[in-house]
Amino acid sequence: MEISGNFEGVGMEVGVKDEVLTVIAPLKGTPAEKAGVEAGDKILQIDETPTYNLTIDEAVDMIRGEKGTEVVLTVAREGESETIEIPITRGVIQIPTIDTELRNDGVFVISLYNFSGNATSAFEEALKEFVETDSEKLILDLRGNPGGYLQAAVEMASYFLDSGEVVVRETGRGGEEVEVYRSKGYDIFDQELDMVVLVNRGSASASEILAGALSENNVATLVGEKTFGKGSVQEVVEITPETSLKVTIAKWLTPNGVSFSEEGLTPDVEVELNSDELNSGNDKQMERAVELLLEN
């Protein structure tokens, strides 16, 4: 997925998990989401082509295409005994960034959809809007957010953390710590802030970095489902002029040393939610998050 601008295609982020091409998350309002693609779907076939021997770039090139054309994905989904064929008509994908809402109960919700080039400034504006409401109860919804720029996650965490607090650790292939990314100390909130971060299996990469930093620095409670687990730093090495190899050179860890790529993040309060419930307006994860905030 591109993390700025727009493109023609179906609108989803894919990666490799357990050596299988896997949907990290469909983007909000895109053909992929409308067709019923879900985070965690394992893509076994693109049209008539099996994916087991495709690189990520090759798969993405096949899934993308001109608006109005169709691609059929054959997926395996957890809980389903048979594969599912999902036809998707491609469109122009406008990458969403952020939405805000002040609920009638006084809870302010920031829904962040990616960590793109303009996400940091959009997040800053959303926080200003929150402060102006005089609410002290904040939900940051990172569900279905496949990530983006690491630095954007560090910047966002800095609004909540003291200067020098660890946001994320980077370790090399041998497990040695090679870099620690720390808060810049904007820390604009006092101890009155009550915060919940919503996550699910479509929350990946920079989403996991931000959620892990806020959770382990005791700023927010995590609610939802276990995250995707995308915490590796990769480098493309050219083997020949026609071939290349993508090598994992480092991993990201939470401040307390939890590996995203190996474990993902487990919420403090686990609430399962399937797509049918969400599409019918029964957002149990959001409801539980609100309950937690209103109890305080």
Catalytic residues: 205, 216, 230
Contact 11, 26 (CB under 8 A): yes
CA distances from 159 to 39, 111, 219, 235, 262 (A): 29, 16, 11, 30, 28
Instruction: List CB contacts of 135: < 8 A, sequence separation 6 or more.
Output: 102, 106, 107, 108
Bridge partners (DSSP) of residue 233 are 250
Angle formed at CA 222 by CA 15 and CA 169, multiple of 5 degrees? 60
Q: For residue 176, with 0-12 CB atoms within 10 Å meaning exposed, 13-18 middle and 19 or more buried, which class applies?
A: exposed
Q: Helices (DSSP H) in the chain: which residue ranges?
A: 31-35, 56-63, 119-132, 150-158, 206-216, 260-263, 275-279, 284-295
Pairing of strands 70-76, 84-89: antiparallel
